[in-house]
Each structure stands twice: as C-alpha cells, then as structure tokens.
Chains A and B, each alone.
Chain A
C-alpha cells in the first residue's frame, strides 16, 4: 500500500495567488482529514470528510480556504487568495472509517507564501 499521497511536497507562491493542495487517501479508507501544522498552533484540524461528504469544517480559518472531495480517492484544499500567514505544513490523513481511530498521515505539503 502506497499510503496517503500528497502533492506537491513543497509549494512556494506569492501573496494573492491561488494554491491547490492535493491528497489521495489510502484505498478503502472512507474518512479524510486536512490538518495544518505551524510552530505557534501545532496541528489544527481544518476539515474532515466521511464518504466524500464534509462533516465538520469548523476549523477552516476563513472563506479563502475551501476543500472538496469529488470522489473516494481524491481531495483538494484550495487557498484563494493566499497570504503569508498561510505558510505552514498541510497534512492530509485518512482512516478506514468510524470506529477505527488510527490516523494515517501523508508526508505533508510545505507551503510558503511570500
């Protein structure tokens, strides 16, 4: 199993640009999570999906952030327009489903907004 796959690994962009982060969960997993990691705030849950449906997006910082999961094998996190304070490592994680609590994390996307 390839694990959770995220792309790109690194993204450098200028303030105001649109950024799209991508995630492929482990096949068969039906819950997907987006986390943001910063030095100041640690790991924050942004949004999670169950069976492709957003269940809780209360962690999404503001309207500039949006996430989609068009099918069971793909999710995107979009920031438009990006700001320097969005610089962080963004992780995607998946779990097989309710009742199985171990999160399988991808390797993350290091985002730098200049």
Chain B
C-alpha cells in the first residue's frame, strides 16, 4: 500500500516568516494530494489540494508543489500569522478511489 512520510514533525517560525512542510509518497499510482489543517480540539479541515496533472497550486498565502518524478510534494505558507499555528497533515491517494493515506503530521508554531 501507500506510505506517506512527512517532515518535520515540529516547526517553529517567527510571525511573517515562511514555513515549508515536505512529504514523500511511495505509490506511483497516487494522483491526488490534499493538505489538512487541524486546530486544537477539532477535526482536520482541508486547506488545499493538488492533482498529479498540476505541478503547483496557490491559494492566497498557501501553495502546494508536486514533483511526480521524485514522489514528493510540499506545503508552503508565506507571511505566517499566529492563527496558522496548528497541526498540518499531508495525504496521498487515488482520485475517485476514496482512500487516502496520511502523513504523521507537522505541528507548526508561529511565534508573534
């Protein structure tokens, strides 16, 4: 099955700096890569996703990049704010297959 590895496990940045979280996957059949944000005491929420036919996708301060050849994808958050502090999960799966494998999570702390 698919194996998703995520790094780093914790990340601390100063407000206004950029944050980058990286993930690798093992199954070349995976073609859908979502990112979820989990705030304290809540369930994860989708913040951005990318399909394998696209190399990069942006939504305001967040962006995701995908390198299919190397089987890795990354989340980039620019101009970080304290409300970005949360646990972020990457995931990989096959579109329309309804089965996603999650990374182990990255706890992001944005210091004011």
Interface size on B, as a range, is 20 to 34
Chain B residues near A55 (CB, 8 Å)?
A: 98
Chain A residues near B36 (CB, 8 Å)?
A: 103, 105
B interface: dominant SS: strand
How many A-B residue pairs have C-beta atoms within 8 angstroms? Tell me: 56
1/0 per residue, CB under 8 A from B, across A38-56: the answer is 0001111100101000011
Mark B residues whose CB is within 8 Å of A.
6, 32, 34, 36, 41-46, 49, 89, 91, 93, 95-96, 98-105
In the assembled complex, 13 residue pairs joining A and B whose CB atoms fall closer than 8 Å, in A order, are A42-B6, A43-B91, A43-B105, A45-B100, A45-B101, A48-B98, A91-B43, A95-B98, A101-B32, A101-B34, A101-B98, A105-B44, A108-B42
